[in-house]
Structure 1
Amino acid sequence: MPDRTLSSLPDCEYLQIDRLTVKIYNSSTELTKGAVRLAQSYLETLLTTQETVSIVLATGNSQLHFLDLLVTIPTIDWSRIILYHLDEYLGIAAEHPGSFRYYLKEKVGSKITPRRFYFIEGDALQPLAECRRYSKLLQQQPIDLCLLGIGDNGHIAFNEPGVADFKDPDVIKLVKLETKTRQQQVNGGYFSNLNAVPQYAYTLTIPTICNAKKIFCLAPGKHKVDVVKKTLNEAISTNFPATILRTQPQAILFCDRNAPRQQRDRFFSGV
């Protein structure tokens, strides 16, 4: 039986910031269920008109509960869905607990059987050839849904402020990671210390992300308050790459009221 709690959620608050839709829920739990409910409706609708649907998956703590719920929905025909992922560390084996392939195989691949699950081979012997291979895979059909989180420095995927390019000619590229981003992976429990985190990574570029038909960006919890504030308030620029979402009418930013009231910016006041 479908999880009926997904269809009985309290209404969320809506904001329109430039072209970006922002949904604000009462808690991280309601945020997750609301995002899953919308994803379910969107995917099931697409599957009535398309033979296959393509999804780019994100990783990290912001996605954990979302993916846990999404893969339990029995009405989604995963055999007609093609899966990709946003990024991967350079030189890391698929069996490494910090690998995004490891995360996605455990959280998704072990629970459903998609038509295809295309992984970025982080330990490929020829990284530039791997970029070309994955670019071709991504260009087989349009991306129907791209899932995102936002890093502490505003990165989406691994498009850091220093390497983000809103007009990037590449589909996927190799980048050097900022120390702040690498430390975030340690703080999230994926690596034991900073030296264990690879310095370079593969990432889908910002134009690739923005070409998706639908973008769901999840930013749950009070630790994302400053990130959401900057995304909604700062000038749209690569200084804080997530600001590009404000130019995307197909994007939805999901956040919640877990933040202390004194920390909320003007977009959260009174909601």
Structure 2
Amino acid sequence: MVAATNFFHVDHLSVQIYQSEADMAKDVAAIVRKYLQSVLEKQETAAVLLATGNSQLKFLDALIALGGVDWSRIILFHLDEYLGITADHPASFRRYLRELVEKRVMPQQFHYIEGDTLQPLAECDRYTKLLQAQPIDLCFLGIGENGHLAFNDPSVANFQDPYSIKLVKLDPLNRQQQVNTGQFPDIDSVPGYAFTVTLPLICAARKILCLAPTQRKAEIVKQMLQGPVSVNCPASILRQQPQATLFLDSHSASLLDF
């Protein structure tokens, strides 16, 4: 296990900083393995809510390579999906998770959000019932450059959201971020709407692990930890979650005044 170089709390949120993203990925993988093993000692299955994006890549590789998780007892969900793109679209989160996770670990079940549905409100209802059928034991998160968690952008984030999953319009900064990370060739190619699991559903998870490495995240990490808890930075809600840990590398933590 690779030790964090710094550890502290901001309100109720635990924060761990590592020298590199690779060190962070290895340590989080070890933490996840130990936690899932402990959950499966107490119950038959564990429900895990997965994030996507570049922040998860090294971690997912490290977790799968580490072994020691009985994936046949794991039920997987994911946080979000674009509306109107097929499951084999290069930017589809279903494709990302099928290739990077499902095909490699063969979980008991993987419940996907059907982004190309012709009835998006019915899809919200279907996925809500699946999410509510079993408490989420573990939720992985990344942080968007506008502070979003999943597709809870500042313009649509609601700390008291009555829904478990909803359809939202993506703001321009979010859509540009998808271009910046290489998911789409230009902003006009990015879908205007997406499904997202809501902030209360995320915060109801029994354990939350948020990974936010690289210099691109430094400014929003500073705002998240040193600004007010507000929907203007949706990720700041994690400061009210004692079951949550934020993992940073030296680059994403570089602007912090701690």
TM-score bracket, normalised by the shorter chain, equals over 0.9
2:20 to 27, 32, 39: 27
- Shift of residue 171, structure 1, vs aligned partner: 0.4
Match status 1:138 vs 2:131: yes
Match status 1:264 vs 2:248: no
For 1:114 and 1:33, the matched residues in 2 are separated by 21
Match status 1:112 vs 2:105: yes
For 1:32 and 1:86, the matched residues in 2 are separated by 20
In the TM superposition, 1:137-176 aligns within 5 A as: 137-176=130-169
Q: Which amino acid aligns with 2:63?
A: L
Change in CA separation of 1:18 and 1:118 when aligned onto 2, cut-off 3 Å: same
For 1:251 and 1:10, the matched residues in 2 are separated by 18
Using the TM superposition, name which of 222-231 and 159-168 deviates more: 222-231
| Counterpart residue number, 1:83 | 76
| Counterpart residue number, 1:3 | none
- Shift of residue 11, structure 1, vs aligned partner: 4.1
1:230 to 223, 226, 247: 223
Q: What is the TM-score normalised by the length of structure 2?
A: 0.98
User: Deviation above 4 Å: which 4+ runs of structure 1?
Assistant: none
Residue ranges of structure 2 left out of the alignment (5+ in a row): none
2:243 to 250, 258, 261: 250
For 2:170 and 2:255, the matched residues in 1 are separated by 29
For 2:236 and 2:188, the matched residues in 1 are separated by 30
Match status 1:127 vs 2:133: no
- Shift of residue 87, structure 1, vs aligned partner: 0.2
For 1:216 and 1:165, the matched residues in 2 are separated by 20
- Shift of residue 224, structure 1, vs aligned partner: 1.1
Residue-pair matches, total = 258
Q: Does the CA contact (< 8 Å) of 2:49 and 2:76 recur in 1?
A: yes
- Shift of residue 83, structure 1, vs aligned partner: 0.2
For 1:166 and 1:212, the matched residues in 2 are separated by 15
Residue ranges of structure 1 left out of the alignment (5+ in a row): 1-6
| Counterpart residue number, 2:42 | 49
Instruction: Please give the root-mean-square deviation of Cα atoms over the aligned residues, in Å.
Output: 1.1
2:208 to 192, 215, 234: 215
- Shift of residue 30, structure 1, vs aligned partner: 0.7
For 2:219 and 2:225, the matched residues in 1 are separated by 10
2:95 to 84, 99, 102: 102
- Shift of residue 35, structure 1, vs aligned partner: 1.0
For 1:199 and 1:242, the matched residues in 2 are separated by 22
Q: What is the TM-score normalised by the length of structure 1?
A: 0.93
- Shift of residue 259, structure 1, vs aligned partner: 5.5
